[in-house]
Structure 1
Amino acid sequence: MVKTVDAVGQSIGLCSDQNRVSNLQACLNAIGNAALDTSQFWFGTDYNQRCPQGPFTQGFGCFLPQGFQIPESMSSLVFTPGTFDPVTLDRYLHVTFTSPEGQYYACGNDFEFEETISFTLDPLSSAKHLCWDAREMPEMTWQSSPGELFSLLVYDVPYGFIHGVYVNIPGNDFTRSEVVDPYHGPKNPNRFGNPYVFLLYTQQQRITVDPKFSERIPGQPFNVSEFAEIHSLSGPVAMNWLLAEGDAYAVEQQKSWGVVNNCPMIVSDEKVEIKRTVREDGKVSNAFLFANVSANPLGDGYIRAALARDEPHAELTIARLSFIPVDDSGKLYTLIMVDPDTASSTVGTGARPLLHWLMINVPYDDVNKGNNVMRYIGPAPPDQVPHFYYFLLYEQTAPLTEEAHRPYAGQSCSEALLYSKPFCPLNRCLFDVNGFTIDNSLKLVGASWFVSRRDEYVRYARVQLGFPEDEECRDVAGYNDPCMAVAGSSRHHPSILACITSAGAVVFLLLLKDVYL
């Protein structure tokens, strides 16, 4: 089954099927005007508003190649200035993509697509399409006369990379074209729609591509106007473009090339629950702390409580969304782990969660060099409700004292909490994350989370603390005495602390991504 995706406004636009039949010239004029319009694309008149601090201070999403003069238009970036004349557009270029079902691995997860989708480009539409959906060579047709030869180029407008070169195309029969550079889809790692333009030229005769272009190193900028001039091409006689939106597929490609790691952008789309526990203004970063084993916000995020009972060994790696190296060696961070889903409102709430871990004065290169002021306690949901455990990373403006967090916690812990009082001191329950972070001028720069549920380990641990075994185990199929325990443990283990520390620690890799809120 093929699902057809309609472009926004395609049914009523000047270049809709119906309107092209009645007034093709109006469509072509509108395409030419859009190519000249400096307000049409992200590198145009709204660039300074979106990137007020310029191209090198706000990450890859604001990066511009050298020589840009904002605002730019499509024509000013694709062609030698002053050489594009919309009058040369004399036919319409139909471009239809079909994205078959498939899967890929990106940002630590498998992404699977179970249906084939199809969409047709409309250059006057604002519709954006995922890079994954444009990965295959599209079907392209146009009007032609007997004996006509064409060249077709696919070009990344702002960054100057070629994505396909075909010459000596007889009519619109692509099967008989000469492939100089085969089509490769967009790899935009950002959420804004980046334009990839399809340019059709007429040839005076069959051509042999100059070695300057046929033997060029992949990835080098491509000069469209020079290519057309050297090979005596006329036009462009038709043009259309794709607005490609970044997705995990493109992000993983850029990451594998060592260009930029924008996995935080993908994770930011998933961050809904996290807003319960951070600043009251609801601002969250396009960043995350990525756990290579457990804390996986792009997957189902679930780990068993038994596997996360020990304090994790954390490694912090700095990565910025920029090509410009930045020295972060003097920065300090605060790492907070909280549970807002506690069973008792005297232990934690969405606004004031239970504090599971607090480290302050963490240097940029090693979490374990920070001050571990509230040691890690693992998940132990006493109820059947899934609990979200959030890791929040904040940038500090100055060193913090080890007592700085104390005014922001409740006075005591409830008996409903799993841990006995020696292991659940004051300053964990009802922790005021908002107050603590705002009053200490902490800036959220990273987050991750996992989900945990009640399991055999939690039942075992609660029985060791004296909770009635029949109540703790009544939900266990085929329950009998003794209660189901974690593998290798005894129901008569002398202490919960010994049980908690009996296994190897879960290892977390924390990846900090700098953002601008």
Structure 2
Amino acid sequence: MAYVPALLALLLMATSYVNARTACSVRRDAACVAAVRSLLTNPSAFWYGTRYATDCPVGKVSSLCRNTKRSEKTLLSRIFGDGATDSSGLAFIVNVTYSPTLPADGSDRTYSGCGRIVDVPLKGPHDFVVDPLGKYVYPPYDLREEPDVTWPAEKNSLYTVIMYDPAPFYVHALYVNVAGGRLQNGDTVFNYFGPGNPVDRDNPYIWLVFKQQKSVDASKIAPARNNIYVQNLVSQLDLSTKSYGINIIMTNTDEYTAAFIRSVNFLNRCPVYYGKYLSSYIQKRGGLPSLPARLDLSVSVDVNFQAPPITYTSCGKQYHQGRGNVTLDYRNTGDVPTVETRISPKVSLVPLDISGQPPSVTLKDKQYTLLMLDLTPELGKTKQDSYAHWMVVNIRGTDINSGDEVYNWKMPMTSDLNELFLFALFEQSKHVNPAKASTYDGNSCFRCRFRAGDFIRDNNLSLVGLRRIAVVPDTYQQYLAARTDTTNQVCKHSPPIIG
């Protein structure tokens, strides 16, 4: 029975997306439909129902507490309007199958997240069928591509198909005049746009199928996805609610979503993910005495280097570097040559909430300290031993130039690709004395053995933003080293990583 272990492994993989067996796990029969009808009218089934009052009491304002229709507590009422209680029109379960694209070369899946490459191995079978009663919560990245959608269609009938987020009343896909019980056979009003749950909260997304009374002119449907109410679409398109279909898929959020919703200026949750990533990275390397183990961040520190062209001679060879323009924003994942960092950067601060007003307004009443540190000597140690490359205190709002520069910019140089250079942003609760701030370095050296942890604690600073810069050695670094090395040993060493 040599095949048994392989068969067992296959079964385990196939069930990794499946939890306990439900009434809809195998058959989409009357028992399955009855169970989903009950779910539709259950006010405690989803976050915007009865538990909303507990999770989000009156007066609490946050990205997790936005329910524009407090009175609509059930999934049925979110679909058909306040007061809807009759779910008997639900006649069938829509079959929804997702097939995430895998890399053609057989490698693991990856995507560009918030300043890093995210590895996302597929945790289940290549194809997975949505169970409306299932307990599995899917990451949006696995739902980014249009699924295969089918249903038991009547002969010669046309249908309208909707993919919908009932929380903000957002249409993720809309198709009309669909024949034959398969999604592809119709007119597209809104192309499929996968779930984009912006916050860390389980949220239902639904597929709805309604029978049309007649053919629909797709060009006359309002070209907007947001604030669309299904009951209005039903009325506008003259859809039948006596026999409709549904499927429900639960999702949370992921870094793929965070990067996207920031790119469209909706919400900036990238600091949250970046903090989780750096927390893990630093702890794997032994931790730091100067920074907390858990990095709860709320502001993105976007860094832009701009430098004029330069020509220099290193070890007998002339090099020319063109005009530089490198940005370490939430999308940057590459390494930066030393020569690009020779001029002090421009720094932009981007908070979590970016949908209502610009950061300069959102943060205008805040006061910050910005440090650029080489924290490598501290990794895995208990003694504070960083090097300060830049220090600005008493920054008002987002204007870095408004602060007091304690240490001017000193470009980072390294021979180790694992050097930990961090831009660290701290919120101040009071004014910081610039003269006293400069006394936290070593007695025998300037800027070195900087006691960042003591400085942070003594001034009651709260860490709110980080941005790592990965610097790689180049011929410009070799050129600078050769200027101070009279023994010419620099040119005898291995050539730099970048010529």
Is TM > 0.5 for Structure 1 vs Structure 2? yes
Equivalent runs, 1:28-177 vs 2, <5 Å: 28-44=33-49, 47=52, 57-58=61-62, 61-62=63-64, 64-69=66-71, 72-100=73-101, 117-146=126-155, 149-177=158-186
User: How far is the alpha carbon of 1:447 from its aligned partner?
Assistant: 1.1
Tell whether the 8 Å contact from 2:161 to 2:209 is kept in structure 1 after alignment: yes
Take 2:497 and 2:120, find their aligned partners in 1: how far apart are those partners? 39
Tell me the residue number matched to 1:390.
Answer: 422
Tell me the residue number matched to 2:435.
Answer: 403
Question: Identity of paired residues, percent?
Answer: 23
Bigger relative contact order, structure 1 or 2 (CA pairs below 8 A, ≥6 apart): 1
Equivalent runs, 1:101-500 vs 2, <5 Å: 117-146=126-155, 149-203=158-212, 205-208=213-216, 214-229=220-235, 231-235=238-242, 237-247=244-254, 250-251=257-258, 253-272=260-279, 273=281, 276-277=287-288, 279-280=291-292, 282-292=294-304, 293-295=326-328, 299-308=332-341, 310-321=342-353, 323-325=355-357, 327-342=362-377, 351-381=384-414, 383-384=415-416, 386-406=418-438, 408-413=440-445, 425=446, 428-466=447-485, 469-470=488-489, 472=490, 475-476=493-494
SS of 1:264's equivalent in the other structure is helix
Give the count of matched residue pairs: 450
- In structure 2, do the counterparts of structure 1 residues 439 and 52 end up closer, same or farther at CA, with 3 Å as the change threshold? farther
- In structure 2, do the counterparts of structure 1 residues 404 and 136 end up closer, same or farther at CA, with 3 Å as the change threshold? same
- In structure 2, do the counterparts of structure 1 residues 429 and 133 end up closer, same or farther at CA, with 3 Å as the change threshold? same
User: How far is the alpha carbon of 1:49 from its aligned partner?
Assistant: 6.4
Task: Structure 1: state its 5+ residue gaps.
Answer: 414-424, 478-483, 488-517
User: How far is the alpha carbon of 1:442 from its aligned partner?
Assistant: 1.6
RMSD: 4.1
- In structure 2, do the counterparts of structure 1 residues 390 and 149 end up closer, same or farther at CA, with 3 Å as the change threshold? same
- In structure 2, do the counterparts of structure 1 residues 163 and 357 end up closer, same or farther at CA, with 3 Å as the change threshold? same
1:393 corresponds to which letter in structure 2? L
User: How far is the alpha carbon of 1:139 from its aligned partner?
Assistant: 0.9
Tell me the residue number matched to 2:5.
Answer: none
Take 2:457 and 2:56, find their aligned partners in 1: how far apart are those partners? 25
- In structure 2, do the counterparts of structure 1 residues 465 and 208 end up closer, same or farther at CA, with 3 Å as the change threshold? closer
Between stretches 167-176 and 447-456, larger displacement belongs to: 167-176
Tell whether the 8 Å contact from 1:93 to 1:142 is kept in structure 2 after alignment: yes
Between stretches 264-273 and 46-55, larger displacement belongs to: 46-55
Tell me the residue number matched to 2:322.
Answer: none
Tell whether the 8 Å contact from 1:168 to 1:207 is kept in structure 2 after alignment: yes
SS of 1:33's equivalent in the other structure is helix
Tell whether the 8 Å contact from 1:390 to 1:448 is kept in structure 2 after alignment: yes
Take 1:323 and 1:486, find their aligned partners in 2: how far apart are those partners? 40
Take 2:84 and 2:271, find their aligned partners in 1: how far apart are those partners? 41
- In structure 2, do the counterparts of structure 1 residues 250 and 92 end up closer, same or farther at CA, with 3 Å as the change threshold? same
User: How far is the alpha carbon of 1:240 from its aligned partner?
Assistant: 1.1
Tell whether the 8 Å contact from 1:193 to 1:245 is kept in structure 2 after alignment: yes
TM-score of the pair, normalised by structure 2 = 0.74
SS of 1:219's equivalent in the other structure is coil
Take 2:243 and 2:75, find their aligned partners in 1: how far apart are those partners? 13
SS of 1:289's equivalent in the other structure is strand
Task: Give per-residue Cα distances to partners, 1:332-353, cap 9 Å, x unaligned.
Answer: 21001111213999xx978542
Take 1:53 and 1:340, find their aligned partners in 2: how far apart are those partners? 43
Tell me the residue number matched to 1:14.
Answer: 22
Task: Give per-residue Cα distances to partners, 1:213-239, cap 9 Å, x unaligned.
Answer: x43141342221243356251246331
Task: Structure 2: state its 5+ residue gaps.
Answer: 1-11, 104-109, 305-325
- In structure 2, do the counterparts of structure 1 residues 294 and 337 end up closer, same or farther at CA, with 3 Å as the change threshold? same
1:68 corresponds to which letter in structure 2? R
SS of 1:30's equivalent in the other structure is helix
- In structure 2, do the counterparts of structure 1 residues 144 and 285 end up closer, same or farther at CA, with 3 Å as the change threshold? same
Tell me the residue number matched to 1:27.
Answer: 32
Task: Give per-residue Cα distances to partners, 1:411-443, cap 9 Å, x unaligned.
Answer: 334xxxxxxxxxxx2xx3333333322332222
